[in-house]
Each structure stands twice: as C-alpha cells, then as structure tokens.
Amino acid sequence: MGLEIVVPRQGPCPLPPVLQALAAAGLPTSVAMVDNVLQGPGARPPAQWRDVRLRTPAGVIALRRTPSGVSVAVFGNADEGLQAGQRAVANAMRQASGLGPSPAG
C-alpha cells in the first residue's frame, strides 16, 4: 500500500506551474514519465495527462488524476525525506489550483 494525499481539482492540471513552484521552494523536480511513456531530460510535459511520475532528490512521486482531483502518492515505506517531498508536491498542486497550502502544512 502507498501513502496518498488527494488534492481537490477539476478541469485541466498543467504541470509547469507546479514544477516552477517546487523549484522556487528549493525542491528540484523533473518529469520522469507521463502516461507510461518515459520523458527525456528537459522534455515539456503535455497539457493533458492521467498519470505522471516526478523525480525528486528524495525519490519518485506519482501523480494520478482521479474523479475528485489529483492523487499524490509514494510507496508505503517512504522515508521522511520522500514524505516531505510528497507534501511539497501536494502543496504546489494546491497553490497552482489557487487553493493555497494545506491546513496541515
């Protein structure tokens, strides 16, 4: 089982604002895979996607579109560094949606 944070969202979910927010927060992140297709370094993420893998210094974080928003998931045995990265990605998704950071931080 994995650890999941669901960020409420409807409509398109462009990744560039999320990646920019993460870079500004000091978490360099790149897109490793989109909809089961590996992405080369510097590849521009597509506007529409269902499943994305983000590469962070702490490890890989999965984004998946769901009916209620975007699931931000890591493996259940993720260490604190990867869980902190997961929270940062979820907060960047919320900020890109205009929702602001999560109440839990």
Q: Per-residue pLDDT tens for 38-80? A: 999 888 888 889 999 999 999 999 999 999 899 999 998 999 9
In the chain, where the domains are located = 2-96
Q: What share of the chain is helix, strand, coil (3-state, %, to 5)?
A: 25, 35, 40
Place of tokens 């998946």: 64
- Please give the mean pLDDT across all residues of the chain: 90
Cβ neighbours of 18 (radius 10 Å): 27
- For residues 7 and 97, which has the higher predicted lDDT (pLDDT)? 7
Alpha helices, H only, 1-105: 16-24, 80-96
Task: State the pLDDT at residue 52.
Answer: 97
pLDDT: is 48 or 11 the higher one? 48
- pLDDT, residue 10, reads 78
Query: Which pLDDT belongs to residue 104?
Result: 55
Q: pLDDT grade, residue 102 (50/70/90)?
A: low
* Single pTM value for the model: 0.88
